[in-house]
Structure 1
């Protein structure tokens, strides 16, 4: 018998085949055929028609194991690879992941970690998930938009930037209070002209930082000196920022650099030019991660209590997945200043 017509050798039609033919994601097919999620009626009908045409039959064993759902959530970062990856070993993302995975497992769910990639937008087509946690999305975040359009429950760790995602629940990282704490510490240590470096993306943490910084300079008669840098530039962006700021404003005696990878670049530049930290210039960053701890000198930063943040985010996500809650905000614990050599 011809191999191409032998039923025993005909490849089984998979859910991916249906998704490809219907022009939708695997998750959309799963939701359409199982009556889950928010799927447009026309899309649901098209998926059902394609499934019938291809002769798709669900894998009942897999369905039994899933209990009608994928029993899986995803943790994703909206940050570019230069910030969330590299020598930090994913830093912020991994610190959240370790607790979030355990909290999800306690509720009978597995968690998949979707790391930041160096190239372009990641597709959700290959993931069959019931919900997602997303770290600090920007105002035009494509990944968050895709999750919302697909009708997947999603919780943001850190308020989403801008106003477009006003109904997305989030854990408030208290970014304004964090920056105020760092600025007050540097002033108490004798800083008279503090400059600030932050990312160029439209993130809520940067917007709150700008407000806190503006209030501080107005209250203390300082010059407003801040610079936004493309996050994808990594340490090189920090080095260039330090060079430009100090050339234009030699009176600067303290730098608050929100993004830790930029802060490492700033420290490198100061060391190369012979400027002493903290005697000539104080240096601090926001996140107390591996970059802050291993920098030379070690950087003053803030403990954001990410273990508790992760638990709050999981709680909020499961509330949303059960569709029994409309709670939009969970405040994180008050951040805690971690003083190191760079500001003493």
Structure 2
């Protein structure tokens, strides 16, 4: 049985009747539209407040042709973007985006990465934020095909993008390990050529040429997550026992690298230094805790939402946004030999 004691929700017709005006006048008065004199506008607002009237979001969407919904999308495997805890890079960005979107009058939809599944055709959204797209990213193609505006967090040159400063981040990590005494640092990256991985390679190889160490790069499939980082690091340490530092931009790979180092009889933070890119849950709860980079994700997520809403409201599409420079968070994993 239904709950007969539950009060019915006031409608726009109720407000119009109590205020003695038409529904159109109520709509215009509450939304700042049309030519409604101030006395009438004030009366309508007073009546709406007394009736606890709340406009129907669904009805507003039907009138405007908008869903007032935005989404965060990514083709990155969940093994590296979220992980078993589901509290990784993707989720932290989503929470920041959701807070700003709500202030802008939009709800925020989280569509977690799901293997080869493309969520675009299942979503009723006005726009999207695409996180670190791969080359020829299928989600970017699907958004373009449907004519859905989107902003990219760290996309290819020429895209409407919010920069994650991958080059600066990679420089922080490589320089830090060298400064802490690593003479044979190696790099562990994903096989996917996302911009973050490409930047890490370029900065690392430039540092090797500049400093004089022999570059060693191991790869792992992103979809393998921590186990992929573990296997790549195990092979690297077995084949090159001189390696005394690992730069591991993907944090899931970094925790795998810690496991590989311990099993190889190395002391992480002593004769093996390890640093990663994202200062998230994995870095903070690793044993030992990992040196990482504060990417300023709150600022990045806010800039992305602001940019997307500006485009939806008819603003220029040519401007790119940039967050503040990343900062290094030094922890026990790079403390160096006593």
Q: Report the TM-score, using the length of structure 1 for normalisation.
A: 0.78
Aligned counterpart in structure 2 of residue 148 of structure 1, from 136, 144, 148: 144
In structure 1, the residue corresponding to 2:84 is in which secondary structure?
helix
Residue 244 of structure 1, CA deviation: 1.3
C-alpha contact 2:82 2:89 (8 A) present in aligned 1: no
Counterpart of 2:100?
103
Distance 1:334 1:170 in 2: 16
Is 1:129 aligned to residue 120 of structure 2?
Answer: no
Give the equivalent residue in structure 1 for 2:323.
332
Output one character per residue of 1:291-329: Cα deviation in whole Å (capped at 9) or x when no partner. 111111110000000000011101111122123212342
Alignment deviations for residues 139-182 of structure 1 (CA, whole Å, 9 cap, x no partner): 0211111111211111111124xxxxx54311111101111011
CA drift at 1:93 = 1.4
Deviation at 1:85, TM superposition (A): 2.8
Offset, 1:61:
8.8
Q: Which runs of 5+ in 2 are unaligned?
A: 1-55
CA RMSD of aligned residues (A): 1.6
Alignment map for 1:23-38 (pairs within 5 Å): none
Q: Is the 8 A contact 2:185 2:244 kept in 1?
A: yes
How many Å separate the matches in 1 of 2:184 and 2:247?
Answer: 11
Question: What CA distance in whole angstroms lies between the structure 1 residues aligned with 2:57 and 2:334?
Answer: 59
For this pair of structures, how many residues does the alignment match?
A: 279
Contact 2:218–2:233 (Cα < 8 Å) also in 1: no
Aligned partners of 1:198 and 1:227 also within 8 Å: yes
**1:94 has 2:91 as partner:** yes
Select which of 62, 69, 74 maps to 1:72: 69
Whether the 8 Å contact between 2:118 and 2:138 is mirrored in structure 1 is no
Structure 1 SS opposite 2:96: helix
Contact 1:92 1:289 survives alignment (8 Å): yes
Distance 2:219 2:233 in 1: 12
Which residue, 65, 79, 82 being the options, matches 2:79?
82
Give unpaired runs (5+ residues) of structure 1.
1-59, 161-165
Q: Distance in 1 between matches of 2:75 and 2:177?
A: 30
